[in-house]
C-alpha cells in the first residue's frame, strides 16, 4: 500500500498502522511525519466530528522524535514503533484528566498510566489525543455536557455509537489508524458497527486495566464484563493492536495468559446466525450476515445455519448481572454529577428493566456459568459463530433518551452484544457492504482466548467487501 493523493506526507493519515510501522521501521518515513499528518487530519475534520476532546501536539511530537532517534541509533523497534493512536478519556493516561465525560472530574489528573496505556507505549505507539465518551461511559450514543456530542462521519443524523464513539469516529475519519476503547455491553463493537470499522472485545482477562484514579470497589458487572480493546480500519491492524494490548499486569488480578492451543485440523466450521429465534431483526442485518456467510463459503469454510444455545436468554442475563450494580453504585453519582443525557438514559433503564434483587443476581451468576459451559461445548463442533452485532441498523441520534418503549426496543436489539459480554468471549465487529448508505456488519465470536479464530474469519469476510474508511465527514443524508 502506498500513500494516496497529494504529497506523501499529506497522505500518511490514510495508511493503516501496519503499513505505517513498516515504513517507519525501514526509514522510508519518520514517526514525526506520520504523527504530523494525523494531527493535520485532526485539524481538518475534528472541528466537525468532535471525536478527539483533548489533543497534545507537543507531547506527541516529542514522542515521535524520540522514536525516530531510537531508529537512527539502530535500536530494536517494537511492533507499533512511532505509530500515532488515540486513547479514550475514561482511562488513566499520565498527566491528563480521566474525566470520562463528566464535568466534576475535569481536573482528575492521572499520575500514572493504566496498564493498557503502558502496553501501547511499550509497543511503540505515540498517543496524539484522547477521545470522547458519554458521561460515565454508560450510553450507546456519545455526547456529554463537558465535551459535547461526537458525530458519525458517515452521517450526522446517525449515532457514532457508544461508549467508544469518539474512538470510532476518529479512526473512521483518519485521525490515527488505531483507537483504544472499552466494552462492557458493546462499547467497542457497537461504535465499530456504526462507523464501518473493525472492533474487538477481547476475551475476559486478556487485556489488563486498572485506573489509579478510581476509588472504591469494582462492581460485579465491571469485574465480570468490562474489557479493553482496539478499533481499527482493518483486521490486520486489530490483531496488531490486540497483541500490543494483551500483556499481563500485576495491577489487574483478572489477567491470564492462555496456554497454546493445538493446531487446528481439517476445514473450519462456522455457525451462521442470520435469523435468531425470538428476535425482531432488521432485513439489512440479516442480509449482512448472509453475505458474510457466502464470503466464507467461497473461501472453503463450512458454513451452517445454526444458533448457539439459548442466545436470547444469555442476552437477558446482562441485566440480571449488571442493573442492580448500576442502579446501586452509579445512580447516586449520576444524580450528583451526571448530565441530562445520562440521567434520562439511566432513568429509562430503570423504567424498562425488571427490579432484580441480590438473590436474582446470585442465580444469574450460576446461569452464566452454565451458559458458558454450553457454548464451549457448542464451539467443539462450530469453533466460530458469525452473528449480528445489533438486530437493528445504526440508530438515529437521540434513540436512547426518547421514551420507555423505544428504550425497550433498543435493549432488545442490542441483545447479541450483551450476550457476548456476559459470557466473556471474544467478539469481533467486522464491516460488510453498507446498507441504505450507512454502515453494516457482523459479529464474529469464538471460544475463550480464541481471538486468533475471530481474526482468521474476520479477514476472510473483510476481503470480500470494498473498504470504505477513512472517509471525509458527510452531511446529514449524504452518502
454 three-class SS: helix
- Measured CA to CA, the distance from residue 97 to residue 95 in angstroms comes to 7
Whether 275 sits among the annotated catalytic residues: the reply is no
Catalytic annotation on 187? Answer: yes
Contacts of 232 (CB under 8 A, 6+ apart): 16, 17, 171, 177, 178, 179, 197, 198, 199, 238, 241
Q: Which of 163, 291, 421, 446 is catalytic?
A: 163
* CA distance to 420, 421, 437, per residue, from 201 (Å): 9, 8, 26
3-state secondary structure of 338: coil
Do strands 178-183 and 84-88 pair parallel, antiparallel, or not at all (unpaired)? parallel
Specify whether the CB–CB gap between 434 and 194 falls below 8 A: no
Q: Is 94 a catalytic residue?
A: no
Q: Which of 30, 31, 88, 118 is catalytic?
A: 88
Which listed residue (31, 187, 219, 446) is catalytic?
Answer: 187
Question: In 3-state terms, what secondary structure has residue 84?
Answer: strand
Residue 262: other Cβ atoms inside 10 A: 6
Contact, 226 vs 211, CB < 8 A?
no
- Helix/strand/coil for 271: strand
- Return the C-alpha torsion angle 439, 444, 449, 453, nearest 10: -110
- Report, as residue numbers or ranges, the catalytic residues: 88, 163, 187
Amino acid at each position: 500500500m502506498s500513500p494516496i493523493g497529494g504529497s506523501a506526507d499529506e497522505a500518511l493519515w490514510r495508511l493503516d498502522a501496519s503499513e505505517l510501522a513498516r515504513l517507519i521501521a525501514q526509514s522510508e518515513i519518520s514517526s514525526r511525519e506520520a504523527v504530523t499528518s494525523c494531527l493535520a487530519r485532526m485539524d481538518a475534520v475534528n472541528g466537525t466530528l468532535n471525536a478527539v476532546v483533548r489533543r497534545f501536539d507537543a507531547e506527541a511530537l516529542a514522542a515521535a522524535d524520540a522514536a525516530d532517534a531510537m531508529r537512527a541509533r539502530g535500536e530494536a523497534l517494537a511492533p507499533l514503533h512511532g505509530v500515532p493512536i488515540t486513547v479514550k478519556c475514561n482511562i488513566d493516561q499520565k498527566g491528563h484528566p480521566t474525566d470520562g465525560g463528566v464535568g466534576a472530574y475535569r481536573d482528575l489528573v492521572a499520575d500514572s498510566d493504566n496498564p493498557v496505556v503502558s502496553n501501547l507505549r511499550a509497543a511503540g505507539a505515540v498517543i496524539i489525543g484522547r477521545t470522547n465518551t458519554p458521561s460515565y461511559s454508560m450510553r450507546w450514543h456519545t455526547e456529554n455536557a463537558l465535551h459535547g456530542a461526537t458525530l458519525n462521519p458517515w452521517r450526522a443524523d446517525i449515532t457514532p455509537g457508544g461508549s467508544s464513539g469518539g474512538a470510532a469516529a476518529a479512526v473512521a475519519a483518519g485521525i490515527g489508524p488505531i483507537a483504544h476503547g472499552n466494552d462492557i455491553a458493546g462499547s467497542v463493537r457497537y461504535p465499530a458497527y456504526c462507523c464501518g470499522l473493525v472492533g474487538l472485545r477481547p476475551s475476559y482477562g486478556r487485556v489488563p486495566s486498572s485506573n489509579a484514579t478510581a476509588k472504591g470497589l469494582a462492581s460485579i458487572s465491571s469485574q465480570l464484563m468490562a474489557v479493553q480493546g482496539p478499533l481499527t480500519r482493518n483486521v490486520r491492524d486489530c490483531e496488531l493492536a490486540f497483541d500490543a494490548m494483551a500483556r499481563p499486569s500485576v495491577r489487574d488480578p483478572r489477567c491470564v495468559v492462555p496456554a497454546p492451543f493445538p493446531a487446528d485440523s481439517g476445514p473450519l466450521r462456522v455457525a451462521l446466525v442470520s435469523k435468531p429465534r425470538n428476535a425482531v431483526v432488521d432485513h439489512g442485518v440479516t442480509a449482512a450476515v448472509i453475505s458474510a456467510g457466502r464470503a466464507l463459503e467461497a473461501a472453503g469454510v463450512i458454513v451452517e445455519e445454526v444458533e448457539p444455545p439459548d442466545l436470547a436468554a444469555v442476552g437477558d442475563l446482562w441485566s440480571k448481572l449488571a442493573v442492580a450494580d448500576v442502579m446501586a453504585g452509579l445512580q447516586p453519582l449520576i444524580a450528583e454529577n451526571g448530565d441530562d443525557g445520562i440521567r434520562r438514559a439511566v432513568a429509562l433503564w430503570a423504567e424498562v428493566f425488571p427490579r432484580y434483587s441480590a438473590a436474582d443476581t446470585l442465580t444469574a451468576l450460576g446461569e452464566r456459568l452454565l451458559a458458558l459451559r454450553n457454548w464451549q461445548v457448542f464451539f467443539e463442533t462450530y469453533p466460530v459463530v458469525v452473528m449480528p452485532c445489533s438486530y437493528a441498523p445504526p440508530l438515529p441520534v437521540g434513540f436512547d433518551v426518547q421514551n420507555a418503549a423505544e428504550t425497550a426496543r433498543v435493549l432488545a436489539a442490542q441483545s447479541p452484544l450483551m450476550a457476548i459480554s456476559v459470557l466473556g468471549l471474544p467478539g469481533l465487529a467486522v464491516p460488510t457492504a453498507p446498507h441504505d448508505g450507512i454502515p453494516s456488519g457482523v459479529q464474529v465470536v469464538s471460544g475463550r482466548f480464541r481471538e486468533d479464530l475471530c481474526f482468521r474469519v474476520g479477514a476472510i469476510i473483510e476481503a470480500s467487501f470494498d473498504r470504505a474508511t477513512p472517509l471525509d465527514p458527510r452531511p446529514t443524508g449524504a452518502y
